[in-house]
Amino acid sequence: MGWQLRKFNICVYISGSGSNLKSILENIDNKTLNSNVSLVISSCKNAGGMKFSIERSIPTFYLNRKELSLCAEEFASKQLELLKENNIDLIVLAGYLKKLSKRVIREYKGKIINIHPALLPNYGGKEMYGMNVHRAVFANGDKISGPTVHFVDEIYDNGETIIQRSVDISECKSPEEIQKTVLKVEHQVYTEAIKLLESKID
């Protein structure tokens, strides 16, 4: 018995354009990653990213607690049902704008990762998501930013860092330019982080 790469059954949670989901799927297609995406959950009905999993016939669900009129417990149960049915052993948050249910976080402890578009612990916390992050970085005149991939616990942007990559943003003239520059690197580091987990020996 030699050393073997792990093969995760991944569930990706999204809310928006899903460019991170797309790049993970492409890196599975081209065998950079050994894992599979077996489930996609979107908090937003019109999330552009859903098309990337639908076109690959990956089970894709729009789950919104308010629209389903579920209490927090019921919503957690609904997700756990889907996660178990699909034998999910790694949850990848990729632009998911909702706070993940506490029970899901507890049951999948150490098996949930997130990508944040700044160098945590800087620019993390409750209101720090999406363009808010890049606007704050720009307002501070930072010359360096970059993504952080980290494990998820019950506190926003708090879990252990897996990979962090500095990106030169000194030429960026707006928060939008920073976002574009950092996003390109996000696509690389998210796959690197998953690869690292695939090769980790317990």
Estimate to the nearest angstrom the gap between the alpha carbon of 61 and the chain centroid: 16
CB of 115 to ligand GRF, least distance (A): 4
Question: Least CB distance from residue 109 to ligand GRF, whole Å?
Answer: 21
Does residue 146 touch ligand GRF according to CB under 6 A? no
Can residue 119 be called a binding residue for ligand GRF (CB under 6 A)? no
For the packed helices 19-29 and 175-198, what is the interaxial angle rounded to 10 degrees? 40
Characterize the bridge pairing of strands 90-93 and 9-14: parallel
| 116 flagged as catalytic | yes
How many residues lie near ligand GRF (CB under 6 A)?
15
Helix (H) and strand (E) counts in the chain: 6, 9
| CA geometry: angle 161, 79, 86, nearest 5 deg | 85
> Which of 110/130 has CB closer to ligand GRF?
130
- Structure letter (DSSP) for residue 166: -
Are 60 and 53 a contacting pair, CB within 8 Å? yes
Quick check: 124 binds ligand GRF (CB under 6 A)? no
Choice between 117 and 124, CB closer to ligand GRF: 117
Out of 8, 12, 13, 18, the only residue in the binding site for ligand GRF (CB under 6 A) is 18
Residues forming contacts to ligand GRF in the complex (CB under 6 A) are 14, 16-20, 49, 94-95, 115-117, 130, 183, 186
Active site residues: 116
